Amino acid sequence: MRIEEVLNNNSVILPNYEEILIPSSGTQIVLSIWKSNSKSNANIVFIPGTMTHPLFYSLFLNEICKKGYNVIGIHHLSHGKSPREIKAFTIDHMIANVKDTITYVVKNFNDNVGLMGSSQGGVLSISLAGLDNRIKAVFPHNILLTSLKESIKVTRFPNWLTPLYNPIIGVMQLGAKIMPKKQLAMDFYLDADKVFSTKEWKDYFYTDPIGMTKYPISFLASLFACDMTHITDGSIKCPVIVFVSKGDPLFIKEYSDLVYEKIKCKTKEKVEFDLDSHLIFNECLDSVFDRVVEKLDKYMR
């Protein structure tokens, strides 16, 4: 897909697209809504990746809507088009954003709700799977289990620091207490060259007028200290369908396989793509779209 199509939003957004504000986490957040031809159709709540927003994935989400789904993308608090009011947010704020979005969808559409996320959004979606029984199925692209010391492999920190994983998290938590609003660039903990496979998407991320390139230390500390035991203790009641790029340079397959095996639920499925990119919903849309829709239809129709 050409990056020019994303830069010109008019070419990728359907006429029945709209944006609304809803209250959440002590502020307001924006929802991007792509309406299908019926409110009774299944709903896909989409959680974007690190520092981005739903319009970063507009090509992908627009096409999902064309397949007969209502798509509701979340601009997390202080992200995207949402008001930049809270400077020291945490992952708990984002979890609340997702729950409040699901409440909106159930009230204004119907209760057939699936949850999908990419990268950090995938991490949030698998976390929500064990926390909200209203979710019919969850479709994370990328999964993370913060209790695993191997999670350091997702960061830009060298592997030899793996034995120090827990102390590093402790230092981050201390920093969050002392200076919670301190902003850290994405490059502090993620290798941008592993996130982006093309210069065009990397440039778009760093020049996006409503994007972010920094996070408060309060969020990073809360992310890596997040209690995710519900992923492995059987709390998840809905099907989990995990999308994995075999050659993902960020969430390497070995790590994704390790986390997948620890997910405990009645129904789970892993869908693997023979690709070398991390941003598969952006950079490899033509290669992944049909199989993604196949799984949506299987579990949501």
Reduce the secondary structure of 91-132 to three states and give it as a string: HHHHHHHHHHHHHHHHHHCCCCEEEEEECHHHHHHHHHHCCC
Q: CA 170: distance to chain centroid?
A: 25
Mean pLDDT, rounded, for 21-26? 96
**Per-residue pLDDT averaged across 228-256, rounded?**
97
Q: Show the tokens assigned to 74.
A: 């979340």
235 in Cβ contact with 130 (< 8 Å)? yes
Residue 3 has pLDDT above 80, yes or no: no
- What are the domain boundaries of the chain? 3-148+228-300
Residue 1 pLDDT > 50: no
Q: Stretch 243-255: mean pLDDT, rounded? A: 97
Q: What is the DSSP letter of 48?
A: -
CATH architecture, range 3-148+228-300: 3-Layer(aba) Sandwich (3.40)
- Give per-residue pLDDT as tens, 179-204: 999 999 999 999 999 999 999 999 99
Rounded average pLDDT over 36-58: 95
Smallest Cα–Cα separation from 205: which of 53, 44, 34? 53
Which tens digit of pLDDT belongs to each residue from 60-109? 999 999 999 999 999 999 999 999 999 999 999 999 999 999 999 999 99
Give the pLDDT score at 7.
55
Beta 240-245 vs 135-141: how paired, if at all? parallel
What was the pLDDT predicted at 14? 75
Q: Does the pLDDT at position 48 exceed 60?
A: yes
pLDDT, tens only, 194-230: 999 999 999 999 999 999 999 999 999 999 999 999 9
Reported as a single tens digit per residue, the pLDDT across 103-135 is 999 999 999 999 999 999 999 999 999 999 999
Give the Cα separation of 84 and 62 in Å (integer): 26
**Quick one: pLDDT at residue 5?**
62
- Contact criterion met (CB below 8 Å) for 91 and 76: no
Mean pLDDT of the chain: 94
Residue 12: predicted pLDDT: 61
pLDDT digits (tens, 9 = 90+) for 265-280: 999 999 999 999 999 9
Task: Tell whether the model's pLDDT for residue 9 goes beyond 60.
Answer: no
Whole-model pTM: value is: 0.95
